[in-house]
Structure 1
Amino acid sequence: MEGPKVQYMRQIYLEGYQTGNKPQTTKYAELRLEAQKRISKEGFNYADGSASTEKTYQTNLNAFDQWQIVPRMLADTDITDANMKTELFGTTFQTPFVISPIGVQELYHEDADKATAQAGVALGIPYTHSTAASTSIEDVASAADLDKEENHGWYQLYWPSDEKLTESLIKRAKKAGFKALVVTLDTFALGWRPRDLNDAFNPFLSGKGVANMLSDPYFIEQYCEGKDPRGKEATKEDLFGACVQAVNLVNPGISRKWSELATLRKFWGDGPIILKGIQSLLDANRAVEAGADGIWVSNHGGRQVDGAISSLHCLSAIGRSIRGLPLYLTPGIITDRNKASQPTDLGLVYGVGREGDEDRASKQRRRPYLIFDSGVRCGADAMKALALGADAVAIGRPWLWGLSVNGQEGVETVFKGLAADLELNMTLAGIQSTTQLNPNILVKAGQEPHL
């Protein structure tokens, strides 16, 4: 997405005037309902539902209302020169968005993961491939040319209980061209999900969302007696048995330990390792001590622990500590975009900044990148997350509904809209660049009298 993102808005208006055509809806609520009409009841509930009472899901959404943006006027902003460039793991991206991993995409569109990965490549947004994907590691990498340096795919690992299977999956991803390893920590057992339970629906048991496992040479040899469970000679019982094995391996019901992270580094080798599912400052600090290159602040969109703290509140604490962001002060006035204050790193705690002295870097760790998800529905949500410390904002359900409605184009449309919305919201609020976003541009609900 080169150039001003607001061009997408102008394109919609111009095309509507010239042809009468209207775009895929730009309202999240409408897109969700449109997707619901196009997919099965079970498929919709699987993606839309969350844990138990679904209070964590709602808490995620409500959290954004507790921080409010304070616009600044006469701030010398220029929409045609807005800067949303984001540096992650040595690569500069045009926007701060990441495609969150979502499994079983065959429930939503026939092109499934291929369409989503291709959308990411087309827009220059990192695509995260789920262990529970409908398309194998190799097939999605081939479809989206992820082996090319300019195309960015990340592999998300549900950590199997079998270490040799873990090694096989990780090395397959590395060989296929995936550039970062995302380790999901919060799903060693599925949460209590009443919508799926009421539908008696587990897609994995019918062979959906297990493409990575059923295509794995080690898995086939060790758990399928060397016979491909998808082959012509395989029976329905063979497939079911393999699926049960796959589910039990990635959801064993036993959590891993911090000391075991070293094994993943051995398997992955060089390249970023991101720990996904961090929800406390204590765990964030332990992630730093363990050598994580990235911390993905997430409560899995509310799908695991019911009644949990919102991801945004977690981010606000982690951002202050790890990025050294200021506390919630009275918002200042940005009068010159070239001299606007920018977030600083806590060098004394986490070593040098990303461009610091390499000798010191060898003795002290650089701070990890912070990625955030759970509840982002619009540009203002993304803006608040970036202000509270996120280096990048990952999007899940919105693009999945776009996939359901219009395949790859639907995914691209969702991200184009989010980028334009964020760009406009920033510049209208007096912010020229995402580097200027920090907690001082926000005020917490209830603290408005302190403006």
Structure 2
Amino acid sequence: MSKPVCLEDFEVHCSQILDRNTRDYISSGANQEQTLKDNIEAFKRYRLRPRMLRDVSNVNMKTTIMGYEIDFPIGIAPTAMQKMAHPEGELATARAALSMKTLMIASSWSTSSLEEIAQANCNGPRWLQFHFFQDNRITMDLIRRAEQAGYNALVITIDFTKMGKRLAEHRNKFYLPSHLKLGNFNNETLNTLRYSTKAQQQPTSDSVEYKSKHSLVDKTFTWDTITWVKSFTKLPVIAKGILTGEDAKLAVQHGVDGIIVSNHGGRQLDGVLATIDVLGEVVEAVEGRVEVYVDGGVRQGTDVLKALALGAKAVFIGRPVLWGLAFQGQTGVEEVLRIIKEEFKLAMALSGCEKVTDIQPSLLAYDKKFYCKL
């Protein structure tokens, strides 16, 4: 493959080199993938209103996120089982985040342990994503391990009471390859679960393990569960999966320290709004009381610019990181981040923004042809 010049180039390469099981797991969304597609298309509905004759000779992309300085407002979203894309998996991604001086959110469903990821990231800012589990001891154990390993915040995925119906995974009878294991859960934890392998034509311990990880998740948690988590950790708690102003207000009332506007990359409930379309509503609802971030569909520097203009403190990218990982490990992830970083810098300059704080709502216009005529 020739040298990639945009994030889509990495996607094309991955479609050619990854096996179907891995490729479809990374790329697919729920049901008919309406939300998956709209996450990307929605950015096109927002147009830019650049300002001219401003000094942009020294564009500065630095910002802070939960008090930690990063070189540019683009972080790495949590994505599961990264060793399916590359043998070094999460460790390569962690080193890339450190090299590029940005933030990584490690998934609790990683194929490396959270301690290994922390060691690979050294002194870089890092958050741990997790779900609420049926057994509170599993939740508490992950949090204590995160504290001891030096993580800076906890990200709770709140839109995963049940797994969305992903047709590609059903067709492929998705399985975790036999040489891989979930890094944060031991066999004893998985063996305490009740599971059925009847749906598998040729069940293996690894396919059982993948199915079992979803059985770990608590389906009864409420906003009070976040209050419970806040009661025994001093780490900031970020709620990932907010899509309405109503829930944003509830999240703040229950003590969250940050919000990630997210629809799980279109992998949960199909037909929900694109994240960029609800970002402004969430920002308005929290009234500056917590930082707001967004993920879903970010593919180019102008997408980042638009998200910040709507009030996001930073954006997170998921699938493009996996494309870079599959392309060339740590170097590939660094290249993905470098390309979108430079695109963002160029977009800032051409819009008349010398620093991140210059990016204001007045920079955007909503394309009138998309207004509802009902």
Question: CA, structure 1 residues 91+143, in 2 after alignment: closer, same or farther (shift >3 Å)?
Answer: closer
> Counterparts of 2:204 and 2:48 in 1: how far apart (Å)?
56
Are the counterparts in 1 of residues 262 and 296 from structure 2 also a CA contact under 8 Å? yes
User: Residue type matched to 1:170 in 2?
Assistant: I
C-alpha distance 439-248 of structure 1, shift in aligned 2 (>3 A):
same
Aligned partner letter, 2:74:
F
1:160 paired with 2:133, answer: yes
Aligned residue identity for 2:132 = W
Amino acid of the structure 2 residue aligned with 1:168: D
Q: Is the counterpart of residue 92 in structure 1 residue 92 in structure 2? A: no
Query: How many angstroms apart in 2 are the aligned matches of 1:35 and 1:242?
Result: 25
2:112 equivalent in structure 1: 135
Shift of 1:174: 1.2
Residue of structure 2 equivalent to 1:123: 100
Q: Which runs of 5+ in 1 are unaligned?
A: 1-21, 225-235, 324-344, 346-366
What are the Cα deviations for residues 382-432 of structure 1, in whole angstroms up to 9, with x where unaligned?
Answer: 100000010011011111101000100000011111111101111111111
Answering whether residue 369 of structure 2 is matched by residue 440 of structure 1, we say no
After TM superposition, give the deviation of residue 29 of structure 1 in Å.
2.4
Aligned length, in residue pairs: 361
Q: CA deviation at 1:244?
A: 4.9
Tell me the equivalent position of 1:184. 157
Is the contact made by 2:176 and 2:207 (CA closer than 8 Å) also made in structure 1? no
Residue equivalent to 2:22: 43
CA contact (8 A) 2:96 2:330 kept: yes
Report 1:145-156 matches (<5 A).
145=122, 148=123, 151-156=124-129
1:386 aligns with 2:311: no
**Alignment gaps of 5+ in structure 2:** 194-202
Deviation at 1:58, TM superposition (A): 1.3
TM-score, normalised on structure 2?
Answer: 0.91
Whole-Å Cα distance in 2 between the matches of residues 277 and 439 of structure 1? 23
Tell whether the 8 Å contact from 2:129 to 2:156 is kept in structure 1 after alignment. yes
Judge conservation of contact 1:295–1:371 (CA < 8 Å) in 2.
Answer: yes
Give me the identity figure in percent: 32
Corresponding residue for 1:9? none
Residue 214 (structure 1) aligned with residue 186 (structure 2): yes
Name which of 216, 223, 240 aligns with 1:249. 216
Provide the C-alpha distance between the structure 2 equivalents of 1:31 and 1:223, rounded to a whole number of angstroms.
Answer: 40
- Is the 2:176–2:206 Cα contact (8 Å) retained in structure 1? no
The CA deviation at 1:91 is 1.6
CA distance in 2, matches of 1:98, 1:128: 8
State whether residues 348 and 354 of structure 2, in contact with CA within 8 Å, keep that contact through their aligned partners in structure 1: yes
Offset of residue 247 of structure 1: 3.1
Aligned match for 2:8, one of 29, 39, 63: 29
Distance 1:167 1:70, change over 3 A: same
Q: What is the CA–CA distance in structure 1 between the aligned matches of 2:369 and 2:309, rounded to whole Å? A: 17
Aligned counterparts of 2:25 and 2:316: Cα–Cα separation in 1: 20
Give how far 1:223 is off. Answer: 3.0
Residue type of the alignment partner of 1:38: I
Q: Structure 1-normalised TM-score?
A: 0.76
Relative to structure 1, is the Cα distance of residues 382 and 23 closer, same or farther in structure 2, using a 3 angstrom cutoff? farther
Distance 1:210 1:414 in 2: 26
CA displacement 1:21-67 (0-9 Å, x = unmatched):
x9730222221010122211110100100000000011111211111
83, 88, 92: which is aligned to 2:60?
A: 83
Which residues of 2 match residues 48-67 of structure 1 at below 5 A?
Answer: 48-67=27-46
Contact conserved, 2:175 with 2:210, CA < 8 A, in 1?
A: no
Cα offset for 1:260?
Answer: 1.2
